Amino acid sequence: MASKNKRLLWLQSGGCGGCTLSLLNTEAPSLFTALADIGIELIWHPSFAEQSLDEAMHLLQRLADGSEPLDMLCLEGSVMTGAAGRFHLLPDGQSMSTLIEQLARRASQVIAVGTCAAYGGISAAGDNLTGAVGLDYAGNHPGGLLGGHFHTASGLPVVNISGCPTHPGWVLETLALLASDSLSAADLDPLGRPRFYADKLVHHGCDKNEFYEFKASATAPGQMGCLMEHVGCKGTQAHADCNSRSWNGEGSCLTGGYPCINCTAPDFADPGHGFFSTPQVAGFPVGLPTDMPKAWFVALSTLSKSATPTRVRQNAVLDRLTVPPSLPKKGKA
């Protein structure tokens, strides 16, 4: 059995390490047990491996030159391509981007963990003076370190587990599918994200859904109402299942009282407006649900606003649910 284990190398470059730390939140079983259970041998990880210094460098070199086989490569963090790679150097003076490219061309499966590694993410925000890019994308466009349209010898494109941070379940389930060779290109969306979580919207299962239906909106973070109209929530456009699978036992951005900032999208860090406000045109939010005709949205929201129950309207701007739903009238239940 042991010989069938897939050998996984995890590298970090222009990121914050938060995707790893999020993965460490894995509950029942905890991370290393879970990896062993799905048949993965973590041959090196910058946070967890025993080997440091020369022995680590020699291992990376053997993997890069092909003298040791590599099944899976996970990259966390963007690739720093600016200034001829000087924004991330290895101890021998080689640029990290060169090593990442060599390893990506050796591995049978290449996985970008987090929005940074997939598209550039937060490290590529603003004027991106470090030339931060993703493995096979630069922002929304194919490109990046590997040029776009990259495929491994096994025929798979880079698997982009986007998210900033990634949910531990997204990473572990993707790795489990890959370890059993049961993830194909058809299981990825047009941005290379695993469809098992990226075909859902953050809006699905949000506990503010009733407020959304009645357009009963919060005016500031921390209020009960829907955060779409005024507080910048992008849950109706954001591809992820955050409100149907919980974070850290029972959380999501929305249960925490603050807006979804669409962190699985390539360009989330440069929204073109404040993260806590919703740009509006003629009193209606810009950036409506992607597949809803605008005229319908306007008509429905005007109608639903006129039908908003008092309970919902009042709770929307309070910091806790205060007005309870009424009981069914006697004899009619």
Partner 1 sequence: MSRRILGPFNRVEGDLNITLDFADGKVSAARVTAPLFRGFERILLGREPLDALAIVPRICGICSVSQSVAAAHALSQLYGITPPANGQRVLNLIHAVENIADHLSHFYLFFMPDFARADYQQHGWHGETLARFKAQSGSAVAPMLEARAILMRFMGSLAGHWPHTLCLQPGGVTKVVSAAERVRLQQWLRSFRRFLEQRTFGQPLEAIAALDGQAALEHYRAQTPAADFAHFLHIADSLQLQQLGRSYDHFIAAAAYAGPDGPWSPAGLWQQGLSQPLPQEQISEDNHSSWLAGDGPSAPLHTDTVPLPDKAEGYSWSKAPRVAGLAAETGALARGLLRGEPLLNEMVASAGGNVLSRVVARLTEVARIVPLMEHWLAALELEQPFQQPCPASAVHNSAVGLTEAARGMLGHWVTLDAGRISRYQIIAPTTWNFSPRDSKELPGPLEKALEGVDASDPQALQVQHIVRSFDPCQVCTTH
Helix axes 96-106, 53-64, angle to 10 degrees: 50
Q: How many residues bind ligand SF4 (CB under 6 A)?
A: 27
Based on the shown chain and the rule CB under 8 A, indicate whether residue 325 belongs to the binding site for partner 1. Answer: no
Closest approach of ligand SF4 to the CB of residue 97, in Å: 16
Closest approach of partner 1 to the CB of residue 321, in Å: 9
Q: Applying CB under 8 A, which of residues 55, 65, 181, 199 lies at the interface with partner 1?
A: 55
Contact of 19 with 171, CB cutoff 8 Å: yes
Instruction: Fill in the DSSP letter of residue 123.
Output: G
Contact of 188 with 194, CB cutoff 8 Å: yes
Half-sphere exposure of residue 176: CA atoms within 13 angstroms, side-chain side: 14
Q: Applying CB under 6 A, which of residues 60, 164, 216, 265 lies at the interface with ligand SF4?
A: 164
Contact of 135 with 79, CB cutoff 8 Å: yes
Half-sphere exposure of residue 69: CA atoms within 13 angstroms, side-chain side: 10
Q: How many residues bind partner 1 (CB under 8 A)?
A: 81
Of 15 and 134, CB closest to partner 1: 15
Closest approach of partner 1 to the CB of residue 205, in Å: 14
Site for ligand SF4 in 304-333 (CB under 6 A): none
Dmax (CA) for the chain in angstroms is 81
Considering CB distances under 5 to 8 angstroms, the limit depending on partner class, which of partner 1, ligand SF4, none binds residue 80? partner 1
Site for ligand SF4 in 228-287 (CB under 6 A): 228, 233, 235-236, 254, 260
The residue whose Cβ lies closest to ligand SF4 is 235
Based on the shown chain and the rule CB under 8 A, indicate whether residue 291 belongs to the binding site for partner 1. Answer: no
CA distance 161 to 189: 11
Per the omega criterion (within 30 degrees of 0), is the bond before 29 cis?
A: yes
Considering CB distances under 5 to 8 angstroms, the limit depending on partner class, which of ligand SF4, partner 1, none binds residue 233? ligand SF4
Considering CB distances under 5 to 8 angstroms, the limit depending on partner class, which of ligand SF4, partner 1, none binds residue 212? ligand SF4
Nearest to 207 by CA among 144, 262, 264, 250: 250
Contact of 97 with 105, CB cutoff 8 Å: no
Considering CB distances under 5 to 8 angstroms, the limit depending on partner class, which of partner 1, ligand SF4, none binds residue 148? none
Residue 107, CA distances (Å) to 9, 46, 74, 163, 221 in order:
9, 18, 10, 23, 44
Q: Applying CB under 8 A, which of residues 6, 13, 73, 192 lies at the interface with partner 1?
A: 13
At which residue do the structure tokens 């506990």 appear? 207
Residues that bind ligand SF4 (CB under 6 A): 15-16, 18-19, 76-77, 114-116, 121-122, 164-165, 202-203, 206, 208-209, 212, 226-228, 233, 235-236, 254, 260
